[in-house]
Structure 1
Amino acid sequence: MANRLSVVEATANSNSVIFDVLPFAKQYKMGVIQLNRPESLNSLTLPMIQAIYSQLEEWAMDQTVVAIWLEGAGAKAFCAGGNVVDVYRSLEKERDTSYCEQFFREEYALDYLLHRFSKPVICWGSGYVMGGGMGLMMASNYRIVTEKSRLSMPEISIGLYPDVGASYFLNQLDDDAVARFLALTAYQVNATDACEIGLATHYLMEQDCAELKQRLMMAQMTDLNPEKVTLIIEQALFTLSQSDDLPLLKPELTALSPTVVSLMTGDIHNIYASMLSYSPECPAMIKAKNTFLTGSPLSAHIIVQQLEWAKHQTLESVFARELELSVSCCKQGDFSEGVRALLVDKDKRPKWLYGRVSDVLEEKVQILLGNKKLIDVMDAEG
């Protein structure tokens, strides 16, 4: 890419995020953000988050920059999430939540900035898009998937819940059952399903990335006009998305819609019973069932209640509550044990606070959700 900008990243690995500018409609510019940690599937570190936020603020003030492009380095992932191992290690070392709170606060601030950004944001979401990567993608105006895309929210496996604004954007889907299912099972959504249910806006071939950039670079726009910028982007996306060469990916999740609705009906106890008795046949649903049943029972309770609470809430209020909830999960939930088992020791044998969904104390759930004081639970536990 041309015109590489300097990157300010205190304590970060060199070039873990790279900023460029490309021409847009010849005489204007498109700011390019490349997450550049392919060895870790471009997971977001705090210095990366800080650097991206700072650069976006600068580009917001630059009238010659008319659009933003987000991408990940390497062929495997756009972004597999936030670097929660750093958060885990800070909790183990410091025994307080100061770094944890800073990480989530600044990650959510970046997501919110993108949601409200004054210029169109294009996300090239090829490969794995998970957790924090979904936060970036879903905050973008144009969410592009390819034949290699796999979108998921896997937080139940680390004792967390779908955050990064997911309490908001999952509730924007047409089907509540699908929102619950994605949040509880970490189901990996392919490109066809992602477009069908509203997680993605366009399906292109992976090889079309360079062609799309070229079309944006070579478009015509004599005067600065936000509506013309939008038209240029949408025309380029429309043209490429109509290609006869696009692989026909079979819809999987949408084809199972009646099953998903049946599984996700009722409260978390009903859902648990339905999933326990469910006998899936396809590999994706077998994996989804296993992820739910082996995930944090406490997280399962939180997920259902958090999604219900977030209906009709503003984006601002969702992020505010998610910050409090995420810190609470780190302080007195299953987060540390989940990260240890899955990402640190990798034994995949977490010792959750509760063995089963039916064992979880409702008072504990309400404390983590901020609805009840700790003393009440201590009294209830006797």
Structure 2
Amino acid sequence: MRILFLHTNFPAQYRHIAQVLASDPNNQVVFCTKNQDVSLPNIYKAIFEPSRNPHPSTHHYVRPLESAVLHGQAVYKIAEQLKARQFIPDVICGHSGWGPTLFVKDAFPNTPLICYFEWFYHARGSDADFDPSDPLNIDDIARIRIKNAPILIDLYSCDRGLSPTYWQRAQFPPEFHSKISVLHDGVDTEYFKPKPGVKLVLPNLDLSGVDELVTYVARGMEPYRGFPQFIEAIAYIQERRPNCHVVIVGSERVCYGKSLPDGESYKEFMLKKVPLDLSRVHFTGSLPYNQYLQVIQASSAHVYLTRPFVLSWSMIEAMSTGCLVIGSNTAPVAEVIQDGENGLLVDFFAPQQIADRVDQVLDHPTRMAELRAKAREKVLERYALADLLPKHLEMIESVAG
């Protein structure tokens, strides 16, 4: 079988699927991407690069669409090169939204396309209008609607779609739901597993003498993932618990939503606003997987906050290690965590309540042991890679056939 994957950032959600397919000598796997840095065995990377950036004079509503068209155009050119080399895929798997999938059905009209549908944008009722202190204006509402243009083209063009959670699929227009299966990427539960009694020791951070460790993980330190609220919660935690340490894993950047003016990071902004004992708050930056694993395995309480938006892998990975997750009571989190059963839920906007829940966890470790076990059980039951990977492969083979 010949399989073509499309994603700007190799290998992203397709890592495990592409590796398994590429391990079969009967398969030929091509991955079309912008990422030149990472390589995997037996996978041929076809690098594309848009010919230019969206033009500054383009209406700002339309710039994301222009960017998607430029990405799609670049992939179309790569597809023509692949055809010249006699590579005609039996199936194409591509991430929808950034544009690589836009014209692939024109390049390969007889090849079925499976689109990964991660998010459909709404001005009302999900992430964009969630924070009452950050109201939308008319420009925001119109701009958000237009962001769906390339996704709508993919919804029409694709033969099959998938979305990782029911919450995320629910954001898409109901008339397309019959095309979209709910199928999570899966978590490697053999890698992300509990390690009772472990202490955190990283190359530049030794917390082996710490008994109370609160952890927080996100790609960026930003409002979408509740970073400001977490910093405010740390002030309450430190006031109550003089021996508690906090470890924050993530980059000093904004991945989703608005940046602050003048290039200031939310870390800088919040640390000026909220006085903390920084000898007990440790910013690690992004970590390699083996060090990130050590952080969540050693965690006494793991805080995960998000607007009603895409659910992070990190929350389910933390649960898989037996973390006691204190999560925001928002729809994507509540799909996985039942309050008091396999984790604890809090009001996203209530830093004091977050601190209260941390107290609850740290004051009652024995009582929380059952919740930790149930957290891992939930992941084993619904999100284990060992169970979900065969379903992904089955979908690909079925559509290709």
Report the TM-score, using the length of structure 1 for normalisation.
0.28
Q: Which one has more relative contact order, counting CA pairs under 8 Å at least 6 apart?
A: 1
Work out which of the two has the higher radius of gyration on C-alpha atoms and give 1 or 2: 2
Higher helix share: 1
